[in-house]
């Protein structure tokens, strides 16, 4: 029979071996994270614009702010929006022109056409599936489109522009982007966001603990329309750093603005938006 000192020696040796194994596993995990984070790191720009009009816009020219920055090398403001990288949904590209145009030294998105017509579609109600019923036997819904509102086509459809750009060549400063990173230009900051509680800033709901700014930026619009027509333009820009460390992690800043324009327009219109900074993991 083993003596008590021999048993204690074996227990101590087992504990030491276990500690060595745990330390080795911990070091391996740290090494994996230190390698995987830089290798998977990626910065991304996401841009989205949606447009809808309740009636036709004639002789239309819409100049909409896009995210831009000052390029010290070229000595001018440049946008990160590349039309060749964008996708279009519900845009008639044969009749509607979309391009980047410089206005007073600032890049803007120019949407123009002799006529921009609305797009309406029918409402498709969900069909309930009864127990034991084969889904393939159900009648398939049919989409019906029109350029005017009717009982048959009551739902207004948005025109959409999207860009997802992974070619960003630097880590984005998501905490303090003003003056450093692309923002809707030209802009004027009118208020600071920094309440510990959720709050409304004009028409925008901001969640508790968010920080950022309220800003104004000009839309330059020219078109004729009925007095009761409503043109709605919504634009959003999201700049993200993301990496993989046992799961995707990220931090970001984002801008969004939305406005409804009543009747015909011919001039410059200040639109309010919000910039939320420092969102995510640091």
pLDDT tens digit sequence for 136-190: 767 777 888 999 999 999 999 999 999 999 989 899 999 999 999 999 999 999 9
Query: Residue 86 is encoded by which pair of tokens?
Result: 């964008």
Q: How many residues appear in the chain?
A: 282
pLDDT digit string, tens, across residues 10-55: 666 666 666 666 655 555 555 545 445 456 789 999 999 999 999 9
Largest CA distance in the chain: 103
Q: Residue 226 is encoded by which pair of tokens?
A: 């009925």
Average pLDDT over residues 66-88: 92
Give the Å distances, CA to CA, from 77 to 21, 177, 249.
56, 15, 31
Instruction: Give the per-residue pLDDT at 125.
Output: 76
Predicted TM-score (pTM) of the model is: 0.81
Residue 3 has pLDDT above 60, yes or no: no
């Amino acid at each position: 029979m083993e003596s008590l000192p021999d048993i204690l020696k074996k227990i101590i040796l087992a504990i030491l071996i276990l500690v060595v194994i745990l330390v080795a596993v911990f070091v391996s995990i740290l090494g994996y994270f230190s390698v995987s984070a830089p290798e998977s790191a990626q910065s991304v720009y996401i841009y989205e614009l949606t447009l809808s009009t309740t009636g036709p816009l004639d002789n239309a020219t819409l100049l909409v702010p896009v995210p831009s920055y000052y390029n010290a090398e070229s000595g001018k403001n440049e946008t990160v929006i590349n039309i060749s990288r964008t996708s279009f949904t519900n845009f008639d590209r044969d009749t509607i022109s979309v391009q980047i145009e410089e206005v007073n030294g600032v890049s803007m998105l120019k949407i123009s056409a002799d006529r921009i017509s609305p797009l309406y579609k029918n409402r498709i109600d969900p069909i309930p599936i009864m127990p034991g019923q084969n889904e393939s036997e159900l009648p398939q819904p049919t989409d019906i489109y029109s350029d005017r509102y009717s009982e048959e086509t009551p739902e207004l459809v948005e025109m959409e522009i999207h860009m997802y750009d992974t070619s960003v060549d630097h880590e984005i400063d998501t905490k303090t982007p003003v003056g450093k990173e692309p923002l809707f230009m030209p802009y004027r900051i009118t208020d600071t966001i920094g309440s510990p509680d959720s709050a409304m800033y004009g028409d925008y709901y901001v969640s508790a603990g968010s920080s950022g700014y309220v800003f104004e930026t000009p839309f330059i619009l020219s078109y004729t329309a009925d007095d009761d027509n409503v043109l709605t333009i919504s634009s959003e820009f999201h700049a993200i750093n993301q990496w993989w460390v046992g799961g995707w992690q990220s931090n970001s800043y984002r801008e969004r603005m939305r406005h409804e324009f009543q009747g015909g327009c011919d001039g410059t219109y200040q639109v309010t938006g919000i910039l939320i900074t420092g969102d995510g993991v640091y």
